[in-house]
Amino acid sequence: MSYDTDPRLLRAFLAVAEELHFTRAAARLYVAQQALSRDIRRLERELGAALFVRTTRQVALTADGARLLPLARRVLAAHDELAATFRSAPERPLLVDVGVPIGTAHGVLEAARERVPDSCELVARFHSGLTGAAAEVAAGRLDVSFGRIAALPPAVRAGLEHQPVRLEPMAVLLREDHPLAARPAVALAELAGETLYAAAGNPQTAEWTDLAERLFTGRGIATAEPFPEIEGSQEFVRMVRKRGWSVLASVEFIEVPGMVLRPLVDPVPLSPVSMVWRRGLRHPGLDALRAAARELAEQQDWLALPGSDWWLPEGDARVMGVRG
């Protein structure tokens, strides 16, 4: 390897080697795919070796590429350590909205915290929905949030980047004495005639209410009347129990005494969860969050479809890269 190899070329190589996909690698580096391809070709010329085998269906490392991978990681780690040592000011804390201290977003945050040094602070915030959080992200008062990005207005989405994280199966929260509570799972058809709370009336969670209304349409399921925003898990539990609501939820949800959570089936409705951040944001904490999200999605099959009988709006499927 040339001693003056540009670290940018090694970062390009590392991104493609880890993603094994040029489009995803380009998105990860915030560069055009053509520019990424040029950098890879330049590095291959400098090294005098082909690093990838490219076909129309896949990208794979060559033997030389596999040999370079651990070396590139060590070189870039040393480069980053050098830069961090002489950085004039520490990185500011990254503000990460996770909604509630359980579930998908919180799991990604906890995994990312294990990846960063103590000097890199990831601070949790607890907004109730992506619609409200996206405005805070765009204004710079938040850095990262999670949720259903397909429902955001195009003008808002234009200022954001996103990474699909999970196709989360949906569930229903029922009173213990509800006739369907004894079932291990509840078929959507069995909810015909029921009224479910889906956060109608809360402008912060408009994306969730919209998803619920799309799911309920044509199935005889009603959305509970609009109700003012409920702040905090404790107040949510109090109101749900007091008003006797059945609640549309996800399979990971807060515990509510006297109520049970049952997965929905026939079909399995999916809640699309993306990690969302301000376009152009650079921060080592963001890199750690993206890596943690990819790792968890792979380990736990978060982006796998549940067989052939599932439901997801067409626009969400496109945004999440779902084909089927």
DSSP result, 248-277: EEESS----TTEEEEEEESSEEEEEEEEEE
| Euclidean distance between CA atoms 113 and 125, whole angstroms | 14
Instruction: Report pLDDT for 227.
Output: 85
Within 10 Å of residue 60's Cβ, how many Cβ atoms?
12
232, burial (CB in 10 Å: exposed 0-12, middle 13-18, buried 19+): exposed
Residue 226 confidence class, pLDDT cut points 50, 70, 90? confident
What CATH homologous superfamily does 169-269 map to?
Periplasmic binding protein-like II (3.40.190.10)
109, burial (CB in 10 Å: exposed 0-12, middle 13-18, buried 19+): buried
Q: Would 94-167+272-320 and 169-269 be classified into the same CATH topology?
A: yes
Instruction: Report pLDDT for 230.
Output: 76
Q: Is the dihedral of CA 47, 63, 66, 33 positive or negative?
A: positive
CATH class of 7-85: mainly alpha
Phi and psi torsions of 8, nearest 5°? -60, -40
117, burial (CB in 10 Å: exposed 0-12, middle 13-18, buried 19+): exposed
Query: The whole model's pTM is what?
Result: 0.71
| Euclidean distance between CA atoms 133 and 131, whole angstroms | 6
| Euclidean distance between CA atoms 221 and 212, whole angstroms | 10
Q: Where are the domains of the chain?
A: 7-85, 94-167+272-320, 169-269
Q: What is the pLDDT of residues 130-184, one digit of tens each?
A: 999 998 998 889 999 999 999 999 889 889 999 999 999 999 999 999 999 999 9
Mean pLDDT score, 282-302: 95
Instruction: Report pLDDT for 1.
Output: 45
What CATH homologous superfamily does 94-167+272-320 map to?
Periplasmic binding protein-like II (3.40.190.10)
Q: Say which residue the tokens 């496109």 belong to.
A: 318
Instruction: Report pLDDT for 138.
Output: 87
Strands (E), the chain: 52-54, 59-61, 94-97, 122-125, 144-147, 160-175, 186-187, 195-197, 222-223, 246-250, 259-265, 268-278, 310-311
Q: What is the pLDDT of residues 39-64, one digit of tens each?
A: 999 999 999 999 999 887 889 999 99
Which three-class secondary structure string do you get for 134-167? HHHHHHCCCCEEEECHHHCCHHHHCCEEEEEEEE
